[in-house]
Copies of this chain bind each other. A is one copy, B any other.
Amino acid sequence: MRLEDYNPLEDRSFSILDPDGEIINEKDMPDFTDEELLYLYKTMLYTRIIDEKALSYQRQGRMLTYAPNTGQEAAQVGSAYAMKEEDWLVPAFRELGAWLVKGVPLKNIYLYWYGNEWGSYMPEGVRVLPISIPIASQLQHAAGIGMANNIKGEKSVAVGYVGDGGTSEGDFHEALNFAAVFKAPVVFFIQNNQYAISTPRSIQTMSKNLALKAVAYNMPGILVDGNDLFAVYVATKEAIERARNGEGPSLIEAYTYRLGAHTTSDDPTKYREDEEVEKWKNKDPILRFKKYLKKKGILTDEWEEKTIEELEKEVMETFESIENKSDTEIDDIFKYHYETMPPHLEEQLNEYKAFLEGGK
């Protein structure tokens, strides 16, 4: 595939693996080892298990608001797997699979959704920005990281994630424009999961697809089957290498579907039909990957069972390790606003502690 040759105005989706697990585009099929294939499959399973557990904890009142990823695993895992360690991941908030690939510990992720800022403290060497809630605003950070790489002569690339809804924000436009003007090594990755909360993609924009918005910035844009890990990987890989080689930014639209709710506060039956959801279940990214692995003879039932068991155990243990032990230290509320705490904050902290100590 050559990204530049792909014309998003033609509104064709780039794909490799079909919902039945068949390779329909041998030419572009990436050259993964069996180990890699199993790693990718395992990571998608991990993602889904984390999701399922989080939802069940939430229902049990043990977890707070959580934004599920089910259905979007290929888009997340496939794109992040195309990144190198030195590349920067700039997420929105629904990028679980990408975080895991990039080395964010599950503990951080759960801690975050459990309501503790320490979840956003990334381990050394993990070039991942914290979750960014204000929609599309993070794309500007990705553009800036890329611009800095150019200035410093560094060869790393920033991958900025955004949702379909996020493409309507002014920041989306400005970030793509800056990245293009400064030929910044950035990949803008849209997870088009068809909805922004209850608002369908058709209300966000009249443009036929979101990838073609690249044209306005004279950068390559490509629409990929977001439930096809291979296609996502190949497109992202090429966009990243292109950026790394000094050829500037690109835009990828991963066409996918959020099978679950927007967050645990959301009831999707209010705004969409069951049939639609069913239709998309047949396109499940994990299922088709599994079919492919099975056909290739790489995946055994035993491996899968054992893996799921291990992962479930790990997920539960991780959650339990933070549950009820993650109340925020009072000092932590104050300590991280400035390198040195200014007197008025110190005073407020001390007064509050004195109040707590004074009983009541």
Contacts and interface: CB of A to CB of B under 8 A. Distances in A.
Contact of A212 (B204, B205, B216): B216
A181 interface: yes
A24 interface: no
A213 B169 CA distance: 16
A172 interface: yes
A171 B169 CA distance: 9
B170 A174 contact: yes
A71 B199 CA distance: 45
Given A205-B217, A218-B208, A169 B180 contact: no
A207 interface: yes
Contacts of A208: 218
Interface of A: 9, 168-174, 177, 180-181, 203-208, 212-213, 215-219
A305 to B, nearest CB: 48
Given A205-B217, A213-B216, A216-B216, 6 more contacts: A9-B9, A170-B172, A181-B203, A207-B217, A207-B218, A212-B216
A46 B214 CA distance: 42
Contact of A177 (B168, B217, B218, B219): B168
Contacts of A171: 170
A155 B203 CA distance: 23
Query: Residue among A177, A180, A216, A217 with the most chain B CB within 10 A?
Result: A216
11 contacts: A170-B174, A172-B173, A181-B204, A181-B206, A205-B217, A205-B218, A206-B217, A207-B217, A207-B218, A208-B218, A215-B215
Contacts of A219: 206
B212 A215 contact: yes
A215 B9 contact: yes
